Amino acid sequence: MKTRLPLPVHLQFWDLFLIELSNWRWGWRNLVLTGTVLPIFGILLLGSFARDLGAHALSFVLVGNLVMALLFEHMGKLISHFAYLKMAGSLDYFATLPIRKSVLILAASSAFFILFLPSMFVVLAGGAWILRLELHLHPLALFVVPLCALPLAGIGALMGVSFRTPEEAAATGRLLTILMLTIGPVLIPPERLPSWLVWLGFLSPATYAASALRQVLLGPLASRLLLDSALLAACTVISFRFVDRKMDWRED
Amino acid sequence: MKNRSDSVYSVSRLTKIYPGKNTPANDEISFEVKQGEIFGLLGDNGAGKSTLVKQMANLLRPTGGNVSLYGQPLQEDPLLVPRYVGYMPQTARTLNSLTVSEALYFTSHLRGCSRQESKREQERLLQLWDLKDIRTELCSRLSGGQQRMLQLATAMAGRPPILILDEPTNELSPQRRRHVWETLRAENSERGTTIIFITHDAIEAEKIIQQVGIMHKARLVALGKPSNLKKQLDQQLRLELRFQPDSPPDLPPGLQPQELAEDHWMVRLERHQVEAALSGLDLSRIDDFQLNSATLEDLYLHYT
C-alpha cells in the first residue's frame, strides 16, 4: 500500500508556524489594544508617580510594562489559543496529522512571539520617550528577548490545554498575570517592596524576565544575566515538557 | 504491515466509559472493516457512534478492548492513524484563520506530499468539492454547508487509504448530499479507498454502503450486508401514503399507520397483506402512494 512518510521536522515546523502566524488576521486589533495601548497607559500612569524617584525606578516602570505586555499578549494569547483549539476540536485535526506535538507547541509559541514584536518595539520606544530614559540596546537582546517569551508561552499553552473551557482558562490566566506582575521586582524596585514579596518573586519567571530585559535594554550588563538566562531556559524546558505531556492527543 | 487477513480495522470488545459516568458509551463492540469496504454506522443520537469512530481515530483512550489497524494495536504507534487515515470530525471549526486554499495546501503538505504535489492536490480538491469560488475565503466565514465540504476535502487531502467521516452530509442541501455520496463511491471504486462513516441519511447512504453497523444504547445491535439484514425483516414492505391533512384515509382492519407528518403516513405490510391493503384504500382521498421493499432506514428503525 502506498503511504507517505511524515515531513521532516523542520518542514513540519515551518508549515505549523505559518498556520499559527495566520492568526494575525483576527488578532491584530487585540494586539494594538492590550499589547500597545495598555502598557503605554501603564507607563504614563506609573511614570507620573515614579518620576521623582529617579532613573532606577523609571527603568522598572518601563521594563515592568514591557513584561506586562508580554504576559497579556504572549502568555494570555497562548492560553486563549490552546483553550480554543481544544474546545473547537482543532487539536483533533492536528492529532490526525503525522506531526509532533512538541513541534506544534514550538510553532505556536514562535508565531505568537513574532506577532508580539511590533507591540514590544512601540512600547519600548514610546515608553523610553515618555519616561525620558536612554536605551542601551545590547546585541544579547536578540537572544534574551525570545528567552523571556518562551517560558511564558509554555505556561500559556499549559494553562490553555489544562482547563475545561476557554473562559476558565482565560480567567485563571488573568489572575496569574496580575500575580506575576505584583510579586517580585517587576514593576516596582525591590527596595520599595516588602521583603516577603521580593522572596516570593523568585518563584516567578516574570521576575527573571524583567531583570534580564532591564540589563539588555537599558544596561548595564551584570553577572546576574547569566543566572536569569539559566533560570528562564530551565523554566522553558520544564513548561514545554509539561505541556507536551498534558496535551495528550488521546483524551480520557 | 503485518496483517494476515484483508482486514483494515479490527475492533475487539471495545468499551468506553467516560470519567464520572456510570453507563458505557460503547459496550463490548466487536467488528472488522475489510480493505476497500464502505462501512456505514447508523444509530440514534447518543448511541455511541462518534465515541466509536473517535477511538478508531485514536483520539479517545478505550476503557477496555482494543482497536487494531492493519493488525497493529493503535496505542503502540501514535503515527499509525495519521499515516493511513483521513478523519473528518463532527464539528466544523478548525483552521479558522486560514483561507480554503491554504487549509487544503497545508493539510496535503503535512500529510507528506511534496510542495508541488500539495498544490496539485489543492486544485484537485477545490474542483472535486466545488470550492473554487470560495478558495480565498477565510474558513471562519464559510456557511455550515461550505465548512462541511471543506472538511471532507481536508479529510481526503493527500489521498489517505482510509477515510473516517463523522456525519459527512450534515447541514448539506439535497444536491450536495447526492454529490457527497457520488464522490465517495467514485473514490472507493477508483482508488479502493476504505470508507467508514456515520450518517443519519440512511436512504441516500444505502446506495453506497457495503456493510452496515447499527448502534443502539452503546451496543452494536446489527452488523452485516444491508441485503442480508433486510431479509431478517420478514420480507416486510412499506406503503407510504400522502393525503390532505383534514381527510386522512381509512385503512383496512389490522393495519397501523406510522405518522411521518400530518399529511404523510407509513404502513408496514407483510407480503400477503398487500393486495387487501391496496384494494381497500379509497384512492379518492389519497394524493400519492408508494409501495417499497424494506430500506436501510427500515432496518435502522427496526433495530433502534
Structure confidence by residue, pLDDT tens digits, B159-213:
999 999 999 998 888 899 999 999 999 999 999 999 999 998 887 788 899 999 9
Q: Could you tell me if A8 lies within 8 Å of chain B, comparing CB atoms?
A: no
Residue A249: which pLDDT band, with cuts at 50, 70 and 90? Answer: low
At B130, list the grid cell.
466545488
What is the pLDDT, as a whole number, of residue B2? 46
Structure confidence by residue, pLDDT tens digits, A81-115:
899 888 887 888 898 999 988 899 899 999 999 98
For residues A195-202, average pLDDT: 92
Q: Could you tell me if B5 lies within 8 Å of chain A, comparing CB atoms?
A: no
User: Cell match 518595539: residue?
Assistant: A121
What is the pLDDT, as a whole number, of residue A129? 94
What is the pLDDT, as a whole number, of residue B1? 47
Residue A53: which pLDDT band, with cuts at 50, 70 and 90? Answer: confident
For residues A37-43, average pLDDT: 88
- Contact indicator for A61, A217 with CB cutoff of 8 Å: no
What is the pLDDT, as a whole number, of residue B75? 87
Residue type, B237: L
Distance between A58 CA and the closest CA of chain B, angstroms: 39
The whole-angstrom separation of Cα A16 and Cα B60 is 23
Tell if the CB–CB gap between B106 and A18 is shorter than 8 Å.
yes
Q: Could you tell me if B36 lies within 8 Å of chain A, comparing CB atoms?
A: no
Boundaries of every domain in chain A: 28-246
Residue A252: which pLDDT band, with cuts at 50, 70 and 90? Answer: low
- Contact indicator for A153, A74 with CB cutoff of 8 Å: yes
At A109, list the grid cell.
509559541
Residue B90 DSSP class: S
Which one of A2, A19, A250 has the shortest CB-CB distance to B106? A19
pTM for the model: 0.84
Which stretches of chain B score pLDDT less than 70? 1-5, 92-94, 233-235
Structure confidence by residue, pLDDT tens digits, A57-70:
999 999 999 999 99
In this structure, of A208-217, A235-244, B112-121, the range with the lowest mean pLDDT score is A235-244
Instruction: Give chain A positions within 8 Å (CB) of B106.
Output: 15, 18-19
Substitution target from B2, B17, B59, B164 for chain A, most A beta carbons within 10 A: B59
Whether the per-residue pLDDT at A55 is higher than 90: the answer is no
Tell if the CB–CB gap between B140 and A19 is shorter than 8 Å.
no
Distance between B135 CA and the closest CA of chain A, angstroms: 16
Distance between B304 CA and the closest CA of chain A, angstroms: 28
Radius of gyration of chain A (CA): 19
- Which alpha helices (DSSP H) does B232-279 contain, by range? 274-279
Instruction: Give chain A positions within 8 Å (CB) of B122.
Output: none
What is the pLDDT, as a whole number, of residue A250? 66
CA-nearest of B132, B150, B41 to B94 is B150
- Contact indicator for A42, A20 with CB cutoff of 8 Å: no
Q: Could you tell me if B48 lies within 8 Å of chain A, comparing CB atoms?
A: no
| Element at B189 (helix H, strand E) | helix B174-191
Substitution target from B17, B76, B80, B94 for chain A, most A beta carbons within 10 A: B94
Q: Could you tell me if A80 lies within 8 Å of chain B, comparing CB atoms?
A: no
- Contact indicator for B63, B15 with CB cutoff of 8 Å: yes
What is the pLDDT, as a whole number, of residue A30? 75
Q: Could you tell me if A29 lies within 8 Å of chain B, comparing CB atoms?
A: no
Contacts for B145 with CB less than 8 Å, ≥ 6 apart? B171, B172, B173, B176
Characterize the bridge pairing of strands B211-216 and B38-43.
parallel
The whole-angstrom separation of Cα B220 and Cα B228 is 16
Distance of CA A223 to the CA centre of its chain: 23
Chain B stretch 212-251, residues whose beta carbon is closer than 8 A to a beta carbon of chain A: none
Residue of higher predicted confidence among A225 and B276: A225
**Domains with residue ranges and CATH for chain B:** 7-224 (3.40.50.300), 233-303 (3.30.70.250)
Residue type, B166: D
Mean predicted lDDT score pLDDT of chain A = 90
Residue B172 DSSP class: -
Chain B stretch 71-130, residues whose beta carbon is closer than 8 A to a beta carbon of chain A: 75, 78-79, 81-87, 89, 91, 93-98, 102, 106-107, 109-113
The whole-angstrom separation of Cα B103 and Cα B98 is 6
Distance of CA B119 to the CA centre of its chain: 29
What is the pLDDT, as a whole number, of residue A153? 92
DSSP string, chain A: ---PPPPPHHHHHHHHHHHHHTTHHHHHHHIIIIIIIHHHHHHHHHHHHHGGG-HHHHHHHHHHHHHHHIIIIIIHHHHHHHHHHHHHTHHHHHHTSS--HHHHHHHHHHHHHHHHHHHHHHHHHHHHHHHTPPP---TTHHHHHHHHHHHHHHHHHHHHHHSSSHHHHHHHHHHHHHHHHHSSSSSS-GGGS-HHHHHHHTT-HHHHHHHHHHHHHT----THHHHHHHHHHHHHHHHHHHHHHHS-SSB-
How many beta carbons lie within 10 A of that of residue A203, not counting itself?
11
What is the pLDDT, as a whole number, of residue B62? 94
Tell if the CB–CB gap between A92 and B59 is shorter than 8 Å.
yes
Residue B252 DSSP class: P
What is the pLDDT, as a whole number, of residue A1? 55
Structure confidence by residue, pLDDT tens digits, B108-133:
999 999 999 999 999 999 999 999 99
Residue of A nearest to B154 (CA): A93
What is the pLDDT, as a whole number, of residue B192? 94
CA-nearest of B134, B123, B129 to B168 is B129
| CB pairs < 8 Å spanning A and B | 100
Is the CA virtual torsion B110, B111, B114, B119 positive or negative?
A: negative
Alpha carbon distances (Å) from B23 to A204, B19, B43, B46, B221: 44, 10, 17, 12, 17
B63 forms beta bridges with none
Distance between B229 CA and the closest CA of chain A, angstroms: 32
